[in-house]
Structure 1
Amino acid sequence: MSVSVYYSARRSEPLTGPETAAVERVVAARTASFPYDDEEDLHLYDLGGDEDGEILAGSTKLPSDPDRWLPVLTHVLDSVTELRRAVGGAEWHVHMDDVDVPWDENEGYALPGMRDAELGAELGGLD
């Protein structure tokens, strides 16, 4: 069974040129720092705007290897956090299949325990 993280942003105005450039910079930087070459990273399949007001959308399939799950999830949610901060005034929806990922103004997108170093070490995914 696979689990994916889905992310989308909606607003009445399409992305501006500077916002599109900012999104592209975030994607390039986060792709360059992704921890695994053989896993799916941030994947945007809609950028700009459509008739429903969706200005950005994408998904990432999480690895089947449990040792990689937490590092990939953390990286993807941190990436989406940066995207949200680069694109103002949008309504965001981030979820893992049927579970919404909460937003926190200080921490961004995160799940409980996601940044717990002891938990990460126990799972084998973090040093």
Structure 2
Amino acid sequence: MSISLYYRASRAAAITPAETAAVERIVAAHRSSFPYEDEDGLHLYDTAGGEPEEVVAGSTRIPLDPARVLPVIAQVLSSVTELRRALPGADWHVHLDDLDLPWDEGEGYALPADPGGARPGG
């Protein structure tokens, strides 16, 4: 059984060249600091030809090794937090399979302490 973390941002305004460069920097920093070569990290899809207002979308397959689950989720959510801050005005949807992850302006994305307290549309 596989669990995945999904993330996507959409907005009416297209991504700018400066925002594209910021996204590329965030992805490069994530890849260089990701601790596991044999696990999925932040993976962005090629959004060309996708949804018309989609500016960023991706997913990460969560590892089966229990010792790696939380470090992978934490690192990917940290990178998604940076992406959200680099793309102002976008509508974000971040979820772990069917669990929507809430956005906190100060903390960014993280697993909720009480999964029952997660709210839709994080």
TM more than 0.5: yes
TM normalised by structure 1 equals 0.84
Q: Which runs of 5+ in 1 are unaligned?
A: 114-127
Q: Which residue of 1 aligns with 2:120?
A: none
How far did 1:112 drift? 2.8
Q: Distance in 2 between matches of 1:49 and 1:95?
A: 23
- 7 and 51 in structure 1: CA distance in 2 versus 1, 3 angstrom threshold: closer
Matched, 1:18 2:18: yes
> How high is the sequence identity, in percent, across the aligned residues?
64
Q: Distance in 1 between matches of 2:49 and 2:94?
A: 18
> Per-residue displacement from partner, 1:81-100 (whole Å, max 9, x unpaired)?
00001111100000011000
Q: Which residue of 2 aligns with 1:57?
A: 57
Q: Distance in 2 between matches of 1:96 and 1:102?
A: 11
> Per-residue displacement from partner, 1:28-78 (whole Å, max 9, x unpaired)?
001100011110010000346855311110000000000000000000000
Q: Which residue of 1 aligns with 2:4?
A: 4
Whose radius of gyration is greater, 1 or 2? 1
- 76 and 34 in structure 1: CA distance in 2 versus 1, 3 angstrom threshold: same
Q: Which residue of 2 aligns with 1:98?
A: 98
Q: Distance in 2 between matches of 1:76 and 1:58?
A: 11
Structure 1 runs (4+) deviating above 4 angstroms are 47-51
1:1-127 to structure 2, matched below 5 A, reads: 1-47=1-47, 50-113=50-113
TM normalised by structure 2 equals 0.88
Aligned length: 113
Quick check: 2:95–2:101 contact (8 Å CA) kept in 1?
yes
Quick check: 1:48–1:55 contact (8 Å CA) kept in 2?
no
RMSD: 1.4
Q: Distance in 1 between matches of 2:109 and 2:51?
A: 27
